Structure 1
Amino acid sequence: MKKLITEKKTARLHDRKTARPYMKHKKLFENFPPVSTDEWMAKINADLRGADFREKLVWLTREGFEVMPFYREEDLKHLSHVDGLLPLMFRNGEGERNTSDSGRAAAQWLIRQDINVSDYREANLKALDVLMKGVDSLGFIISDPESVSEENISVLLDGIEPCGAEINFLPNGKAREIIAALKSIMQRKGINPSSLRGAVEADPLGLLMADGSLCIPLEDGLDYLASLTRETKALQSYRNIRIRGSCFTDSGCSTVQELAFCFSMAVEYLAQLTERGISPDDAASAMKFSFGIGTDYFMEIAKLRAARIIWDVIADSYAPADKSSFRMEIHSVTRKWNDQPEDPYINMLRTQTEAMSAIIGGTDSLTVNPFDITTGQPDEFSERMARNQQLILKEESWFGRVLDPAAGSYYIEELTSLIAEDSWKLFLEMEDKGGFLEALNSGFVKSKMENTIDGEKNRKS
């Protein structure tokens, strides 16, 4: 009997093995006749019973896009970006290996947590703690620039291995002093400077837009940025210019406006830095883009994909010596503008879908804001929940296993194209006005933002 059971198991196993090639190549729908778009439309119009198709089923987004109720493979034929987007997501050198491991590595985003630095030792202890809880990207917010010194930076980084985590600084000044301190610390510890990843995030144009003025004349601020860029170049994997799109989304801008304003600002930086003797390659490799992610799930996925397409077109116009220097580094932040202080726990639902959009869209790093961030200083519980939201997506939902999972989705590919086209048009309109600074000073940027905010209020009323 035991022998008979063993023989039956072996036979079933053999049957499964021989069946696999057949099942693998069988086309499950080959017995069903193809249905054309005209046939689908005829069926839809019959079901509408005389009602207007566009009025009933076509959705108009806040960006002004007309979204159809269905899309088909034939809709991809007019989209030129479909085959060229994936290589833009690979980090430097990964695409050349062309293996499943390199794709998986490229799909792995960094989980970032920002830490307010008032006491450098306390901030260091908190950083060491969160690194043991799944964080692999740190953002140190230094509000008091007078506290910046090599001694304090050394205390802040005590016990933190540069190769184990991305280290970012968001200072309110003294960026060059931070870079000098980092170089000295790396040399003293015998650490290869190229192992340091992250950024000292300087953004004079963003500060000018937000505050209306700088603490120094703008030209002096841009001279300072050029010096900072030269000094940061020795840290090969480190960046020093922040293109902060999240400030536009937190102000209520549309997706198209966020991208257009960001790229206009980036090109302004390129123009200003090249005038000061810095090559386009070095200027571009110093930039890090930060985008705000809202609750419009598919639109936000498409936004990040469209951003890489536009930046690639801009890169080609500069004829860089090394195209990889223009590789777009994207950090994403869940949007504060959506959060409701009167019902903070609902914010966890919002930020979870926002995190999913950012990851599927191909972000390189992500900050999920704690659910109580709009009510004051987040506590230990809300920060832990924000970390765990990403850890669940990475370790339990396996979001980090596939690069560009939205590729080939008829709807998302169409949205990607629409966002890229409209953002490019608005970007060119700003360039025709003389660039970002001219558009900002003339009130063009403010006018566009106000029109969108007013339109959104009217749409909800």
Structure 2
Amino acid sequence: MSTNKPLFTDFESVSSKQWKQQIQYELKGADYNETLVWESPEGIKVKPFYHNDEVEETDSKISINSPEKAFEILQNIFVHDVKKSNERALDSLNRGAESIRFTIENDTISIADLMQNLPLEKTTYYFYLPFLSVDFATKVSDYASKNHAKFVIQVDPIGQLTKDGNWFENLESDFEKLNTIASSSAINYLNISSGIYQNAGANMVQQLAYTLAQANEYFNRIPALKHPITIEVAVGTNYFFEIAKLRALRLLFNTLAKEYHHNFDCNIIVTPTRRNKTIYDYNVNMLRTTTECMSAILGGANVVANLPYDALYHKDNEFGDRIARNQLLVLKHESYFDKVNNPADGAYYIENLTQQLAEKALELFKDIEKNGGLITQLIEGIIQRKISESANKEQELFDNGKEILLGTNKYPNKNDSMKNDLELYPFVKQNPRKTLITPIIEKRLAEKLEQERLSQES
């Protein structure tokens, strides 16, 4: 028998006051705030429940532009041999990848050879360039125009400064080239590599504020900017906070863009963080990356590039890539994460986190701008110091066992051996040289503990 009667109308609604009274009764005299309310590293007090009657009528619902279509599965390919990279791209697309990112280290690569026989019109190809060349950007743009291809260039001079400590050439030359590309490029070309902040230990408010400050530098210094900006983000395992972080990022970016009379949205590419990944008990990395990819999708990522479980210690390999890609395929086609648009809407907890993260990040962003902007504060070392302070707090929690990585500082397998399985050096590399600024160094939480365990292996 069919009925139009709404569900649950036979049950009386329960107010937040009633919930608190029942909780207080169950606590048997223990203090509600001290027992159940906890504070995040960002200074956000998290309550045990959220209720619609605590939302003031004057509060407007957070308006976030959701992606026009479901997230795309991105396959990363480092281009060393053009023919092999082309074959790998085609194979990845046949196995479920929906977009490809080529990392190209020099401007001698033939785009025509790299793209031979690859589908162009319906597949997006990203070109990550750790160099800045007007001629090469023009070559990529021209090829895209002539072949109706969906190309995106990813070049980020400020990201180069933060990671390397030096510009590609210098501030004036780098932005002169960017403005030249901006005036002629028919495709998106600008990238913000904000994942470095998360991987170096910055808290979420810092990640958002520094990303926004970096966007502001580009808005200020590239008057001819007319294409969407690609923002690369790293996400950790704080599930709901990471969802809220991505939503807050899009909200903040759109707010800033409007101030410059730009009407384009940002294109967010999300990758799981390396900070909490481990070389011991490495299969746990798959569990971590699965929840992180879930946060990315629910947070509104346009594109998700999963991190292979063995990326820390193995060179690129077909098995690791296939497992990483299949994790996303399961989420998309078997868990139906692509069927609901903006699924976090209306979740009081996530809405509250989004609002608080956005407000705190905006406050920090304003302070950065008041004191000279991101580039000035990088040169003065202020950003590096703040990230280091945050990272040290998190490291202390890990070292004391308060932040847990299963299989590493909790329930480690003493028989696990990795010494003979390392194809890559999984720790911070030392490269003493002269730099304009102190680089922001990405470092995993487990590095010291893993080095100790490796030294004890027979």
What's the TM-score bracket when you normalise by the shorter of the two chains? Answer: 0.7 to 0.9
Partners in 1 of 2:184 and 2:281 — Cα distance? 46
- Aligned pairs for 1:377-388 within 5 A: 377-388=315-326
What is the match of residue 292 of structure 1?
A: 234
The answer to which of 261-270 and 34-43 deviates more is 34-43
**Matching residue of 2:447:** none
SS at match of 2:222: helix
**Structure 1 residues 376 and 291, CA, compared in 2 at 3 Å: closer, same or farther?**
same
What's 2:403 paired with? none
Question: Could you tell me which residue of structure 1 aligns to residue 352 of structure 2?
Answer: 414
Deviation (angstroms), 1:76: 3.7
Map 1:9-48 onto structure 2 (within 5 A). Answer: 19-20=1-2, 22=3, 25-48=4-27
**How far off is 1:383 after superposition?**
0.5
TM-score normalised per structure 2: 0.83
| AA matched with 2:12 | P
Q: Which runs of 4+ in 1 moved over 4 A?
A: 78-81
Inter-partner Cα distance in structure 2 for 1:120 and 1:457: 41
Alignment of 1:3-152 (within 5 A): 19-20=1-2, 22=3, 25-77=4-56, 80=59, 82=61, 84-85=63-64, 88-91=65-68, 106=69, 108-143=70-105, 145-148=106-109, 152=110
AA of the residue aligned to 2:115: L
Indicate the SS of the match to 1:139: strand
Q: 1:223-260 deviations in whole A, cap 9, x for unaligned?
A: 1111122221xx2xx31111111111111111111111
Write the deviation string for residues 303-351 of structure 1: whole angstroms up to 9, x where unpaired.
111111111221222234xx2x2x1211111111111011211100000
The equivalences for 1:274-289 within 5 A come to 274=223, 278=224, 282=226, 285-289=227-231
1:394 is displaced (CA, Å) by 0.8
Q: Report matched runs for 1:372-411 at 5 Å.
A: 372-411=310-349
Q: Is the 8 A contact 1:76 1:414 kept in 2?
A: no
Q: State the SS of the aligned residue for 1:374.
A: coil
CA separation of 1:424 and 1:78: change in aligned 2, threshold 3 A? farther
Q: Report the equivalent of 2:267.
A: 329
Larger radius of gyration: 1
> Given the superposition, is the C-alpha separation of residues 222 and 330 from structure 1 closer, same or farther in structure 2, using an over 3 Å criterion?
same
Asked whether the equivalents of residues 269 and 301 of structure 2 are also in contact (C-alpha less than 8 Å), the reply is yes
Partners of 1:225 and 1:287 lie apart in 2 by 13
Residues 258-292 of structure 1 deviation map (CA, whole Å, 9 limit, x = unaligned): 11101100100111112xxx25xx1xx24111110
2:233 corresponds to which letter in structure 1?
Answer: F
CA distance in 2, matches of 1:46, 1:246: 44
Quick one: which amino acid aligns to residue 176 of structure 1? V
Mapped contact 1:153–1:178 kept (Cα < 8 A)? no
Give me the whole-angstrom Cα distance separating, in 2, the residues matched to 1:76 and 1:28. 23
In 1, the alpha carbon distance for the partners of 2:72 and 2:212 equals 23
Secondary structure class of the residue paired with 2:308: coil
After superposition, the C-alpha distances for 1:36-83 in whole angstroms (9 at most, x for unaligned) are: 222221211111111111111012112121100011112344685635
In 2, are the aligned partners of 1:242 and 1:290 still within 8 Å (CA)?
A: yes
RMSD: 1.7
State the shift of 1:180 in Å.
2.7
Within the candidate set 386, 392, 396, 1:448 is matched to: 386
Task: List runs of 5+ in structure 1 lacking aligned partners.
Answer: 1-18, 92-105
| Counterpart-to-counterpart distance in 2, 1:305 and 1:75 | 21
Partner of 2:372: 434
How far apart, in 2, do the equivalents of 1:455 and 1:170 lie? 33
In structure 1, C-alpha distance between the alignment counterparts of 2:48 and 2:132, rounded to whole Å: 53
Q: Which residue of 1 aligns with 2:203?
A: 254
Q: What letter is aligned with 1:115? A: I
Preserved contact between residue 130 and residue 160 of structure 2 (Cα < 8 Å): no
Q: Which residue of 1 aligns with 2:255?
A: 313
- Counterpart of 2:143 in structure 1 is 185
Is 2:191 the counterpart of 1:228?
no
Deviation at 1:439, TM superposition (A): 1.6
Match of 1:199 in 2: 152
**What displacement does 1:119 show?**
0.8
Deviation at 1:182?
3.0
- 1:13 corresponds in structure 2 to none
* One-letter identity of the residue aligned with 1:173: F
The amino acid that maps onto 1:158 is: Q
Q: Give, in whole Å, the separation in 1 of the partners of 2:88 and 2:165.
A: 34
Task: Tell me the SS of whatever aligns to 1:401.
Answer: coil
Residue identity in the other structure for 1:132: N
SS of the counterpart of 2:74? Answer: strand
Pair 1:156 & 2:114 matched: yes
Q: CA deviation at 1:34?
A: 2.6
- 2:169 counterpart residue number: 216
Take 2:202 and 2:213, find their aligned partners in 1: how far apart are those partners? 15
Q: Is the 8 A contact 1:175 1:200 kept in 2?
A: no
Structure 2 gaps of 5+ residues are 401-458
- Greater share of helix residues, 1 or 2? 1
Q: Which moved more, 1:435-444 or 1:26-35?
A: 26-35
Q: Separation in 1 of the partners of 2:242 and 2:140?
A: 35
**SS at structure 1 position matched to 2:275:** helix
| Counterpart contact for 1:179–1:231, Cα < 8 Å | no
Q: Report how many aligned residue pairs link the two structures.
A: 399
Distance 1:30 1:415, change over 3 A: same
| Aligned-partner Cα distance in 2 for 1:183–1:347 | 37
Mapped partners of 2:392, 2:232: distance in 1: 25
Which amino acid in the other structure matches residue 253 of structure 2? W
Residues 1:240 and 2:189 are matched in the alignment: yes
CA shift in 2, pair 1:215/1:244, >3 Å: closer
